[in-house]
């Protein structure tokens, strides 16, 4: 791993590693869920992994599986409350393929 890649992987100063506590509504061992700024719909949510990565798809296998499970739990709660939801992550790819079905 190049020095700049190692430095990026060890960052903890981004807005998801140190989120605004007023926006965080759930914390789990694999991730956090926070209210999205400029909500597009009620319950608009951003989920982020506990590990600093540029996208959830960069998480190693087990961590990705745990994060996807976490995100699915949050999605389920949002659907219970709002009937549907819009959930995203801040990264280069969306969570379109949750877990083993990802392509």
Closest approach, Cβ 34 to Zn ion, in A, equals 13
Closest approach, Cβ 100 to Zn ion, in A, equals 26
Q: How many Cα neighbours within 13 Å face the side chain of 5?
A: 3
Closest approach, Cβ 71 to Zn ion, in A, equals 16
Rounded to 5°, angle at Cα 13 from 5 and 23: 130
For Zn ion, the closer CB: 16 or 78:
16
- In the chain the first and final C-alpha atoms are separated, in Å, by 25
Contact 55, 92 (CB under 8 A): yes
For Zn ion, the closer CB: 17 or 63:
17
For Zn ion, the closer CB: 14 or 41:
14
- Across the beta sheet with 24-27, the strand order is 24-27, 31-35, 45-49, 87-88
Closest approach, Cβ 16 to Zn ion, in A, equals 5
For Zn ion, the closer CB: 46 or 85:
46
Footprint of Zn ion (CB under 5 A): 14, 16-17, 52
């Amino acid at each position: 791993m190049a020095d700049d890649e190692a430095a990026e992987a060890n960052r903890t100063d981004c807005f998801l590693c140190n989120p605004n506590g007023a926006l965080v509504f759930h914390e789990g061992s694999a991730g956090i869920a926070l209210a999205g700024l400029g909500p597009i719909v009620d319950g608009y949510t951003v989920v982020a992994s506990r590990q600093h990565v540029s996208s959830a798809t960069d998480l190693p296998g087990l961590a990705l599986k745990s994060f996807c499970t976490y995100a699915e739990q949050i999605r389920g709660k949002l659907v219970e409350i709002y009937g549907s939801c819009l959930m995203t992550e801040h990264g280069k790819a969306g969570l379109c393929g949750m877990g083993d079905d990802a392509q």
